[in-house]
Copies of this chain bind each other. A is one copy, B any other.
């Protein structure tokens, strides 16, 4: 089968690789229908995360169950399924508490499992899914137009939703969103869905500002840094946002997020932190809270799915580029050069 392999920084290829096999009774093999490129895939692509050997990549996909192990009880061949961006058993003490990304048996796509057996990346034709009953969420076969929206449930929409949950967005509350990538835009949509009273999106790009408005932003602030944060505070009762959703992961973006928050405000951060430090004493005097993490997409899919299927939300609009899988390298390049917000790969 064909699967995406990152060989070296900026050297990404669709290679012929061994087709996956069932290893455990709980495994399933899924034929991928659509996958996509994540902002976090760009860290190794850019060489910021070291690549010691060619690596399989991709962690967002939807597809059709092709084969199931003898122990799989909730899935059948032919089921259309959504794969969250990590696999998990959905039964352990941490999954029970909704932290599926810390599942005691779980793991990442594209990395060997705990028994040292290969698990495929999501940007390929077939994927072995460990813990299939716990991991996959099935839904009726969608029409083609619905596929991108369902695909966002793998990662980007639940990640935006996680930012809003971490920050505690409430009906009527005020929200500022730092970051206008696909996650930041999804965070705007998630905050709106949760009933936020006023949403300020921080963005300098016309196309992203436009989508932020369509997703529910009431105001756009194009200025960055301290000055941008001052504009946000001025817009929000002169005191700042009740909740700030930090969707970038840099020192600057976190500082900006803190400056946007009102005293007593809460910051949810979902961008993988790179070199971020926080002023704990400054937090103390302003009664701030920060909470961040790898979004437990699996915990949220069942809650978000009905609103996606009904069309109440259209999170798939973050995809502004669609390519066949054999042009995966173009998808990475476009996201690296920020000419695309997010690239969808069809199979």
Contact = CB atoms under 8 A, between A and B. Distances in A.
Contact of A291 (B239, B288, B294): B288
A266 interface: yes
Interface in A239-258: 239, 242, 254
Contacts of A287: 99, 101-102, 291-294, 296
Identical chains bound together, number: 2
Contact of A293 (B242, B272, B278, B286): B286
Contact of A284 (B273, B280, B284): B273
B277 A288 contact: no
A319 to B, nearest CB: 26
B291 A272 contact: no
Nearest to A284: B292
Q: Looking at chain A's contact residues, is the secondary structure mostly helix, strand, loop, or mixed?
A: mixed
Nearest to A101: B287
Chain A: number of interface residues, binned into ranges: 35 or more
Contacts of A263: 94, 99, 101-102
Nearest to A287: B293
A289 B166 contact: yes
Given A98-B264, A262-B94, A272 B284 contact: yes
Contact of A239 (B93, B278, B283): B93
A242 B101 CA distance: 16
A237 interface: yes
Interface in A157-178: 166
Contacts of A291: 266, 283, 287-291
Contact of A281 (B93, B99, B239, B273): B273
B94 A264 contact: yes
Given A97-B264, A239-B93, A263-B99, A283 B293 contact: yes
Given A278-B280, A281-B276, A102 B264 contact: yes
Interface of A: 93-94, 97-99, 101-102, 166, 237-239, 242, 254, 262-264, 266, 269, 272-273, 276-278, 280-281, 283-294, 296
18 contacts: A94-B239, A94-B262, A94-B263, A97-B242, A97-B262, A98-B264, A99-B262, A101-B287, A102-B263, A102-B264, A102-B286, A254-B280, A273-B281, A278-B278, A280-B292, A283-B292, A290-B291, A291-B291
